[in-house]
């Protein structure tokens, strides 16, 4: 009980903190009353945050539409009655409300399996010629798309995958072209060719590096491996022939031995020493195996030594070749030195003449050099100027090209943005239209407006009536006033008349007294009538109040409260008892 | 819906009256639909004599493009309006767009079922056999008195024509648990359908 009370007070406090004006306390919740609770609820609902509604409207995105579609499909499928599986062909039925084809069960499922399919490309383009052979292949040999896969089930996956591949390739290429292709200032074909070359180079480099690395770190082992393989091939051949031979001889021997033994056994005691021969066989075999193994070991060691020799010899050959080269070079140098020396020696006998001749030759050649230099200068100056001009021009052009490139890039970006925007807008429009279609068309609106107008008309009518009643009451009031005025005047007039006559006549005096009494009594009567009216009104008000109070169920509430009070008392007593018991 | 350049070019061919005359356009589209849907007519277009007037290479390219468009459109659940806008971009005349939209609208459910069949799923329960045994006693206990249920679920497994049977036995509590789980599953399906 106390918990209830506390809860009630807390609730009341919170609601009053929110700004509730009317009277509110724990009693509102404990001893509830429809009208009060209704008011409280109205207030609280008004206070509810309104963002939720807007948010709901905003988040009506593609995902919600999809969810709705799923829900509607599920509802349709749930509403259709169950059917046994043998009534469906491969799990496909014509059912639902409204009926449509649907797949049920898993028997018809197949995995996604796609194959590469080939489509003819640019056959209708007249500007680009396709090779004759390709055209022949397209027209005569290539099967149609739906007939290319091994199984018909694979057609749809293959077609879809083909399209997806093509689309992604296109997308990838576009982004690459936008990013780096445009900057390289090449045409598309050139760019593609360059890329191809780059990749090729990369691969070859990689291969070469791998090979070199292999050669440096494990070169010996590699070569050893190779040699081993070669030797194993050749060796196998030789050993097999040998073992074959040996086996042959061995069997021969065996046969002979057997024969001999047979002969012996036949000739001899006749006890077949079969076990003995077996043992002998075993022994012989072992011996032979040992021999062979030894031979093999020998051969292997010989091979190794030969191998070593070979390597040594090859190294020697290389060294020798290098030495030969060195010697040849030295020889050549020496020959050249010999030739020069020989010429100078030839010139020595007629020294002076020869010196002058040589001087002349030297002078001549000097002059010629100067001449040539002059000529060169003459040619050079305009060339350099031209070169400079051209350089300026190219740099200008380059900067222009750069600018243009930037512009192109910007335009492309803009293009993309606009396209994206358009797509987004289109999607939004689609969503909105679908939502609009989904919305229940407002039939209620008309009804509402009608009702509102009706209510307004009613109110007008009521107002008119009220006005009428008011006018009536006013008229009545006026009449009353008039009548009372008339009465007053009449009374004063008669009063005067009778008063004048009363002095003369006794009877009239009496009449005057009666008149005064009558007037007083009448006034009293009117007063009492008015009072009764007032009282009646009060009574009516009080009755109304009583009714409203009785609506509030004060009595029952009081009873409830007293019962609760009793309960609380009991609880308190019990708690006290407990406390005492504990202490 | 995203289509590759190759497909768009093929569609332009299909929409061009110089390559595919108006007279054979409708049979051409019909053949494309059938070629995707039906095993028997997968090669029908190559055998049909009414397409002899068309260059075979062009015919094959256009056919491939139309098949791709049909499958992609069915995959994305595109309505006739959007498909007509795609076709307009590929320079189809309005008559052809009408023909194509009508055929596509008729065939869309079939195409979607065809696409819906691609995939995998857990075994699908279609039927159940059951038997109740009353277990009275065993060698160790004189009185057991328990019900034992033997349940055989018949399931459809992808790629197999016959049913695969899943057999198990359970006690009453376990069976009740199973039934409760099944009820939960139904309820959540209903909840999902009432979004």
Of B64, B87, B116, the residue at which a domain comes to its end is: B116
Q: Is A451 found in the same domain as A431?
A: no
pLDDT of residue A233: 53
The answer to whether the beta carbons of residues A209 and A217 sit under 8 Å apart is no
Q: Is B106 found in the same domain as B150?
A: no
CA contacts within 13 A on the Cβ side of A524: 6
Q: Which residue of B has its CA nearest to A149?
A: B42
Q: Among partner residues A107, A123, A163, which is closest to B57 by beta-carbon distance?
A: A123
Q: What distance in Å separates residue B143's CA from the closest CA in chain A?
A: 41
- Which helix (H) or strand (E) segment holds residue B173: the answer is helix B172-193
In a domain, A185, yes or no: no
Q: Residues B57-94: pLDDT tens digits?
A: 888 888 888 999 999 999 888 888 888 888 888 888 88
Q: Among partner residues A101, A106, A160, which is closest to B75 by beta-carbon distance?
A: A160
The answer to whether the beta carbons of residues A32 and A562 sit under 8 Å apart is no
> pLDDT category, A40, cuts 50, 70, 90?
confident
A107 and B45 in contact by Cβ < 8 A? Answer: no
A101 and B113 in contact by Cβ < 8 A? Answer: yes
Of B91, B116, B141, the residue at which a domain comes to its end is: B116
Distance in angstroms (rounded) separating the CA atoms of residues A46 and A120: 68
Of A385, A412, A439, the residue at which a domain comes to its end is: A439
Which SS3 state, helix, strand or coil, does residue A52 take? Answer: helix
Give the number of A-B residue pairs with CB atoms closer than 8 Å.
175
B117 and A109 in contact by Cβ < 8 A? Answer: yes
> pLDDT category, A217, cuts 50, 70, 90?
low
B159 and A109 in contact by Cβ < 8 A? Answer: yes
- As a whole-number percent, the residues of chain A with pLDDT over 70 amount to 84
Residue B24 predicted with pLDDT over 60: yes
Least Cα distance to B100 among B151, B42, B25 occurs for: B25
Other Cβ atoms less than 10 A from the Cβ of B102: the count is 13
Which SS3 state, helix, strand or coil, does residue A211 take? Answer: helix
Q: Is A532 found in the same domain as A408?
A: no
Lowest mean pLDDT among A377-391, A411-425, A501-515, B114-128: A501-515
Q: Which residues of A14-45 are buried (b: 16+ CB within 10 A; e: fewer)?
A: ebeeeebeeebebbbbbbeeeebeebbeebee
Q: Is A513 found in the same domain as A424?
A: no
- As a whole-number percent, the residues of chain A with pLDDT over 90 amount to 34
Strands (E) located in A307-382: none
159-178 of A, contacting B, C-beta below 8 A: 159-160, 162-163, 165-167, 169-170
pLDDT of residue A396: 95
Q: Is A518 found in the same domain as A392?
A: no
Which SS3 state, helix, strand or coil, does residue A94 take? Answer: strand
> pLDDT category, A60, cuts 50, 70, 90?
low
Of A439, A462, A493, the residue at which a domain comes to its end is: A439
> pLDDT category, A367, cuts 50, 70, 90?
very high
Q: How large is the average pLDDT for residues A391-399?
A: 94
Distance in angstroms (rounded) separating the CA atoms of residues A478 and A474: 6
A109 and B120 in contact by Cβ < 8 A? Answer: yes
Residue A295 predicted with pLDDT over 90: yes
In a domain, A238, yes or no: no
Query: Across the strands, what pairs with B154?
Result: B127, B165
Residue A249 predicted with pLDDT over 50: no
Residues of A in contact with B194 (CB under 8 A): 71, 75
Distance in angstroms (rounded) separating the CA atoms of residues A149 and A550: 89
Asked whether this complex has an ipTM greater than 0.90, the answer is no
Of B116, B144, B168, the residue at which a domain comes to its end is: B116
Q: How large is the average pLDDT for residues A421-440?
A: 85
pLDDT of residue A123: 72
Which of B32, B42, B46 to probe by mutation at the A interface, max A CB count within 10 Å?
B42
In a domain, A254, yes or no: no
Least Cα distance to B127 among B76, B172, B162, B87 occurs for: B162
Residue A277 predicted with pLDDT over 90: no
Q: What distance in Å separates residue A564's CA from the closest CA in chain B?
A: 44
pLDDT of residue A317: 95
DSSP β-ladder status, B163-171 and B146-156: antiparallel
pLDDT of residue A13: 86
> pLDDT category, A216, cuts 50, 70, 90?
low
Residues of B in contact with A96 (CB under 8 A): none
The answer to whether the beta carbons of residues A90 and A108 sit under 8 Å apart is yes
Phi, psi of B145 (to 5 degrees): 50, 65
Q: What distance in Å separates residue A183's CA from the closest CA in chain B?
A: 24
Tokens representing residue B149 in the block: 């249920």
Average pLDDT, chain A: 82
Q: What distance in Å separates residue B145's CA from the closest CA in chain A?
A: 36
CA contacts within 13 A on the Cβ side of A69: 11
Cα Rg for chain B, rounded, in angstroms? 27
pLDDT of residue A240: 41
> pLDDT category, A470, cuts 50, 70, 90?
very high
Q: Is A455 found in the same domain as A528?
A: yes
In a domain, A48, yes or no: no
B55 and A123 in contact by Cβ < 8 A? Answer: yes
Q: Among partner residues B55, B64, B124, which is closest to A119 by beta-carbon distance?
A: B64
Lowest mean pLDDT among A75-89, A424-438, A487-501, B136-150: A75-89
pLDDT of residue A312: 94
**Predicted structure pTM score:** 0.51
Distance in angstroms (rounded) separating the CA atoms of residues B70 and B87: 12
B189 and A74 in contact by Cβ < 8 A? Answer: yes
Q: Is B110 found in the same domain as B22?
A: yes
**DSSP letter (8 states) at residue A114:** -
Position with higher pLDDT, A183 vs A578:
A578
Q: Is B182 found in the same domain as B87?
A: no
Q: Is B188 found in the same domain as B94?
A: no
Residues of A in contact with B117 (CB under 8 A): 103, 108-110
Q: Is A450 found in the same domain as A578?
A: yes
| Alpha-carbon A11 to chain mean position | 45
Q: What distance in Å separates residue A405's CA from the closest CA in chain B?
A: 25
Q: What distance in Å separates residue B140's CA from the closest CA in chain A?
A: 44
Residues of A in contact with B35 (CB under 8 A): 144-147
Q: Among partner residues A71, A112, A119, which is closest to B6 by beta-carbon distance?
A: A119
Which of B82, B84, B126, B161 to probe by mutation at the A interface, max A CB count within 10 Å?
B126
Domain count, chain A: 2
Residue A205 predicted with pLDDT over 60: yes
Least Cα distance to A44 among A74, A78, A77, A15 occurs for: A15
Domain count, chain B: 2
Q: Among partner residues A71, A160, A170, which is closest to B194 by beta-carbon distance?
A: A71
Contacts 24+ apart (CB under 8 A), A229-235: A231/A303, A231/A307, A235/A299, A235/A303
DSSP β-ladder status, A92-95 and A100-103: antiparallel
pLDDT of residue A477: 94
Distance in angstroms (rounded) separating the CA atoms of residues A533 and A462: 26
The answer to whether the beta carbons of residues A564 and A6 sit under 8 Å apart is no
Range of the domain at A458: 446-582
Strands (E) located in A156-254: none
Q: Is A464 found in the same domain as A388?
A: no
B4 and A157 in contact by Cβ < 8 A? Answer: no
Tokens representing residue B191 in the block: 């909840």
Residue A369 predicted with pLDDT over 90: yes
Residue B45 predicted with pLDDT over 70: yes
Q: Is B140 found in the same domain as B108?
A: no
- Which helix (H) or strand (E) segment holds residue B148: the answer is strand B146-156
Residues of A in contact with B39 (CB under 8 A): 152
Residues of A in contact with B65 (CB under 8 A): 119
Q: Is A461 found in the same domain as A396?
A: no
Residue for token pair 């059912």: A95
Does A96 reach chain B within 8 Å, measured CB to CB?
Answer: no
Cβ-based neighbours of B65, under 8 Å, separated by 6 or more: A119, B6, B7, B8, B9, B10, B11, B13, B14
> pLDDT category, A459, cuts 50, 70, 90?
very high
Distance in angstroms (rounded) separating the CA atoms of residues B169 and B130: 9
Q: Is B101 found in the same domain as B23?
A: yes
pLDDT of residue B158: 82
Q: Is B129 found in the same domain as B102?
A: no
137-156 of A, contacting B, C-beta below 8 A: 138-140, 142-147, 152, 155-156
Q: Is A499 found in the same domain as A386?
A: no
In a domain, A501, yes or no: yes
Query: Across the strands, what pairs with B169?
Result: B150
Phi, psi of A89 (to 5 degrees): -90, 110
B192 and A143 in contact by Cβ < 8 A? Answer: no
For the beta sheet containing B146-156, the strands, ordered from the edge strand earlier in sequence to the opposite edge, are: B124-135, B146-156, B163-171
Residue A322 predicted with pLDDT over 80: yes
A109 and B121 in contact by Cβ < 8 A? Answer: yes
Q: Among partner residues B57, B115, B157, which is closest to A156 by beta-carbon distance?
A: B115
Which SS3 state, helix, strand or coil, does residue A306 take? Answer: helix
Q: Which residue of A has its CA nearest to B128?
A: A84
Residue-wise DSSP of A2-21:
HHHHHHHHHHHHHHHHTT--
B4 and A167 in contact by Cβ < 8 A? Answer: yes
For residue A163, with 0-12 CB atoms within 10 Å meaning exposed, 13-18 middle and 19 or more buried, which class applies?
buried
pLDDT of residue A440: 67
A106 and B124 in contact by Cβ < 8 A? Answer: yes
Q: Is A385 found in the same domain as A509?
A: no
Q: What distance in Å separates residue B192's CA from the closest CA in chain A?
A: 6
The answer to whether the beta carbons of residues A423 and B85 sit under 8 Å apart is no
pLDDT of residue B183: 95
Q: How large is the average pLDDT for residues A532-560?
A: 87
The answer to whether the beta carbons of residues B42 and A152 sit under 8 Å apart is yes
Q: For residue A452, give Cα distances in angstroms to A42, A446, A455, A456, A559.
A: 21, 10, 5, 6, 44
Residue-wise DSSP of A450-514:
HHHHHHHHHHHHHHHHHHHHHHHHHHHHHHHHHHHHHHHHHHHHHHHHHHHHHTT-HHHHHHHHH
Q: For residue A329, give Cα distances in angstroms to A166, A341, A557.
A: 64, 19, 132
The answer to whether the beta carbons of residues B15 and B98 sit under 8 Å apart is no
For residue A1, with 0-12 CB atoms within 10 Å meaning exposed, 13-18 middle and 19 or more buried, which class applies?
middle
Q: Is B110 found in the same domain as B36?
A: yes
Q: Is A503 found in the same domain as A394?
A: no
Q: How large is the average pLDDT for residues A42-66?
A: 67
Average pLDDT, chain B: 87
Distance in angstroms (rounded) separating the CA atoms of residues B147 and B173: 10
DSSP β-ladder status, A100-103 and B124-135: unpaired
In a domain, A24, yes or no: no
Cis peptide before A467 (omega within 30 of 0): no
Lowest mean pLDDT among A29-33, A300-304, A404-408: A29-33
| Alpha-carbon A336 to chain mean position | 81
B9 and A78 in contact by Cβ < 8 A? Answer: no
Q: Is B90 found in the same domain as B150?
A: no
Least Cα distance to A202 among A213, A191, A210, A192 occurs for: A210
Q: Among partner residues A70, A143, A159, which is closest to B46 by beta-carbon distance?
A: A143
Of A389, A405, A439, the residue at which a domain comes to its end is: A439
Q: How large is the average pLDDT for residues B147-160?
A: 88
For residue A405, with 0-12 CB atoms within 10 Å meaning exposed, 13-18 middle and 19 or more buried, which class applies?
middle
Q: For residue A374, give Cα distances in angstroms to A363, A379, B60.
A: 17, 9, 75
Q: Residues A324-365: pLDDT tens digits?
A: 999 999 999 999 999 999 988 887 777 788 888 889 999 999
Q: Is B29 found in the same domain as B88?
A: yes
Q: Is A482 found in the same domain as A466?
A: yes
Q: What share of chain A is helix, strand, coil (3-state, %, to 5)?
A: 85, 0, 15
A138 and B159 in contact by Cβ < 8 A? Answer: no
Q: Is B93 found in the same domain as B17?
A: yes
Range of the domain at B104: 5-116
């Amino acid at each position: 009980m106390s918990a209830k009370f506390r809860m009630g007070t807390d609730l009341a406090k919170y609601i009053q903190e929110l700004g509730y004006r009317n009277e509110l306390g724990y009693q509102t919740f404990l001893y509830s009353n429809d009208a009060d609770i209704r008011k409280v609820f109205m207030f609280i609902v008004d206070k509810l945050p309104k963002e939720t509604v807007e948010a709901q409207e905003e988040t009506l995105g593609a995902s919600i539409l999809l969810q709705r579609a799923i829900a509607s499909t599920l509802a349709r499928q749930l509403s259709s009655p169950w059917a046994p599986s043998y009534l469906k062909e491969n799990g496909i039925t014509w059912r639902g409300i409204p009926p449509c084809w649907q797949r049920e069960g898993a028997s018809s499922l197949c995995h996604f399996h796609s194959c590469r399919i080939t489509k003819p490309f640019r056959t209708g383009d007249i500007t680009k010629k396709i090779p004759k052979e390709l055209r022949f292949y397209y027209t005569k040999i290539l099967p149609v798309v739906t007939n290319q896969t091994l199984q018909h089930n694979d057609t749809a996956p293959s077609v879809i995958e083909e399209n997806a591949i093509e689309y992604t390739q296109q997308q990838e290429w576009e982004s690459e072209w936008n990013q780096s292709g445009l900057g390289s200032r090449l045409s598309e074909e050139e760019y593609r060719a360059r890329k191809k070359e780059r990749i090729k180079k990369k691969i070859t480099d990689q291969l070469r590096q791998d090979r070199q690395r292999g050669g440096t770190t494990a070169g010996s082992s590699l070569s050893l491996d190779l040699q081993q393989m070669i030797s194993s091939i050749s060796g196998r051949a030789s050993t097999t022939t040998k073992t074959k031979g040996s086996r042959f001889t061995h069997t021969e021997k065996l046969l002979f031995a057997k024969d001999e033994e047979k002969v012996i056994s036949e000739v001899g005691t006749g006890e077949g020493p079969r076990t003995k021969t077996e043992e002998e066989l075993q022994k012989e075999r072992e011996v032979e195996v040992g021999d062979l193994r030894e031979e093999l070991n020998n051969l292997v060691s010989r091979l190794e030594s030969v191998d070593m020799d070979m390597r040594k010899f090859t190294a020697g050959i290389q060294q020798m070749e290098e030495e030969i080269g060195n010697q040849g070079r030295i020889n050549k140098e020496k020959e050249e030195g010999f030739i020069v020396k020989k010429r100078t020696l030839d010139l020595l006998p007629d020294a002076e003449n020869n010196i002058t001749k040589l001087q002349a030759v030297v002078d001549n050649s000097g002059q010629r050099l100067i001449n040539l230099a002059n000529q060169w200068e003459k040619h050079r100056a305009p060339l350099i100027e031209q070169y400079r001009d051209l350089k300026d021009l190219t740099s200008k052009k380059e900067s222009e090209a750069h600018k243009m490139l930037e512009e192109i890039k910007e335009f492309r970006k803009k293009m993309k943005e606009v396209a994206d925007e358009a797509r987004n807008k289109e999607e939004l429009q689609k969503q909105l239209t679908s939502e609009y279609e989904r919305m229940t068309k407002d039939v209620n609106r008309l009804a509402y407006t009608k009702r509102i107008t009706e209510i307004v008309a009613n109110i007008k009518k009521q107002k008119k009536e009220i006005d009428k009643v008011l006018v009536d009451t006013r008229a009545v009031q006026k009449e009353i006033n008039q009548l009372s005025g008339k009465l007053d005047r009449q009374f004063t007039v008669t009063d005067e008349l009778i008063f004048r006559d009363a002095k003369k006549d006794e009877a009239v005096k009496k009449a005057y007294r009666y008149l005064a009494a009558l007037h007083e009594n009448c006034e009293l009567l009117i007063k009492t009538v008015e009072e009764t009216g007032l009282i009646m009104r009060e009574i009516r008000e009080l009755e109304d109040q009583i009714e409203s109070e009785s609506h509030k169920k004060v009595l029952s509430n009081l009873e409830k409260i007293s019962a609760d009070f009793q309960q609380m008392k009991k609880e308190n007593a019990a708690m006290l008892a407990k406390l005492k018991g504990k202490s | 819906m995203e289509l590759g350049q190759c497909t768009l070019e093929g569609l332009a061919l299909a929409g061009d009256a110089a390559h595919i005359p108006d007279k054979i356009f409708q049979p051409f589209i019909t053949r494309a639909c059938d070629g995707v849907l039906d095993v028997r007519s997968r090669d029908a277009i190559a055998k049909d004599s009414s397409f002899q007037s068309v260059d075979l290479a062009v015919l094959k390219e256009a056919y491939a493009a139309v098949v791709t468009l049909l499958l992609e459109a069915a995959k994305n659940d595109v309505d006739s309006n959007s498909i007509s806008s795609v076709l307009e971009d590929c320079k189809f005349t309005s008559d052809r767009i009408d023909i194509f939209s009508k055929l596509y609208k008729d065939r869309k459910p079939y195409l979607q079922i065809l696409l819906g069949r691609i995939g995998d799923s857990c075994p699908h329960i279609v039927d159940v056999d059951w038997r109740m045994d009353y277990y009275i006693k065993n060698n160790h206990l004189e009185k057991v008195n328990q019900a034992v249920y033997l349940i055989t679920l018949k399931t459809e497994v992808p790629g197999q024509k016959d049913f695969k049977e899943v057999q198990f036995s359970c006690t009453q509590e376990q069976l009740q648990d199973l039934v409760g789980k099944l009820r939960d599953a139904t309820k959540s399906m209903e909840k999902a359908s009432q979004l």
